[in-house]
A and B are shown apart, each in its own frame.
Chain A
Amino acid sequence: MAQPTAAESWSGGNEPMKAEYGKLMMWFFLVSDALTFTGFLTAYGFMRFGHEATWPIAEDVFTHFPGIEGDQPLLYVAFMTFVLIMSSVTMVIAVNAGHQLKKTAVAWWMIATIVGGFIFVGSQAWEWYHFIIGDKGGIELADGRVLKVAEAQTGEVLSLSQLVDGEAGHASNHLEKFSTGEVKTAFEANEGLVLQSPGKGHAQLTRTESLRLMQNAQVVQGANMKHNEYGQGQFANFFFFITGFHGFHVFSGVIFNIIIFYNVLLGTYERRKSYLMVEKVGLYWHFVDLVWVFVFTFFYLV
């Protein structure tokens, strides 16, 4: 294309970025949204570095996989990551089909993307449920620190149901509620138990110190915005806020996809001879996947 003369340039209609208005605005929105998520994740890093000793380690927290007994660290998040990458792929294929004006192909690949989005949101609901209801339980000291009950010799963490009832198991870990009194009695009865930090290094207190601190301690099971059994209080707040904000993005993305899918079926873009709207929601959808890649690393892996 020949360079426009000065008069032509000033009369408007130039597209220096060769991108349509809506697409450009979607990109600028995504840049600002990326900075919002940066704020959350760096704030998480700030708090974590400030409370290294009591900050829970994610692989001790997210250990369940539906239908499998025992501890499966990282497996469920890996599954969620796979679902989101997969739905990102189906979205690219839909956009690709849109460039070739293949209406049926666009519709089918968008359905696949929407299904992937629902599976992801559902998985997140499952994970929240387990996080809120709790797993092994913790001991909250008078000064607010949350510690775990562990074998002094091996450093292995005991769940409250193992401690009180002597039985380990998924269902008993989750559903039974224990009083502070019965936990104290069981703790005092077993000479081999101490309190252990949930943070980096899993530092242990001595038996004497543990017994002394147990006097004014409370049992905490599960998690809410004020207390959580996993460790430092802000950990649960960051979990709810970061994965919640991301989950909300995924949910909005699914809604956008459904609206655009409906318009594909109506033939709106067929008449326009352009599937640019599919490309725009596609950008949003890939961004949601992109953010998850970072949440996966900085919340679950590092």
Chain B
Amino acid sequence: MSDSSATTGTRWIWNIFWLLLVVTGVEVALGIIKPTFLLFPLAGTSILNLIFIGLTLLKAAYIVQYFMHLKYETQSLRMAIYLPILVLIPYLTFILLYEGVEVYGY
């Protein structure tokens, strides 16, 4: 709850709203147009999909840090939330997607 100057007023909230809206707009536009030069394969998927994932993580970071106020919590609380999430989710994702490719066609 520190840093009260940053949380009074509603201007910061609308700034983040516009950011989330613009990022979503970009995602939808890219999803509809699907520019061919972004379909170039990279890391087992396409550049376009990597852009989608990057933008999603950006939106998620803003929601968690500012809307859910985690940026202003104590270090111990932040770590208690972030560590399990940031270790387990990439781990599970890697294992299942890797195995999914292995069982392709079965």
By a beta-carbon cutoff of 8 Å, the part of chain A in contact with chain B is: 16-19, 24, 27-28, 30-31, 34-35, 38-39, 42-43, 45-50, 52, 59, 73-75, 78, 81-82, 85-86, 88-89, 91-93, 96, 99-100, 279, 283, 286-287, 289-290, 293-294, 296-297, 300-302
Contacts and interface: CB of A to CB of B under 8 A. Distances in A.
Interface in B36-59: 45, 49, 52-53, 55-56, 59
Contacts of A19: 73-74, 77
A45 B96 contact: yes
A286 B52 contact: no
Contact of A31 (B28, B81, B93): B81
B10 interface: yes
Interface of B: 1, 7-8, 10, 13-14, 16-17, 20-21, 24-25, 27-28, 31-32, 45, 49, 52-53, 55-56, 59-60, 63-64, 66-69, 73-74, 76-77, 80-81, 84-85, 88-89, 92-93, 96-97, 99-101, 103-106
A54 B16 CA distance: 39
B37 to A, nearest CB: 18
A92 to B, nearest CB: 5
Contacts of B8: 96, 100
Contact of A88 (B49, B67, B97): B67
A17 B85 contact: no
B17 A89 contact: yes
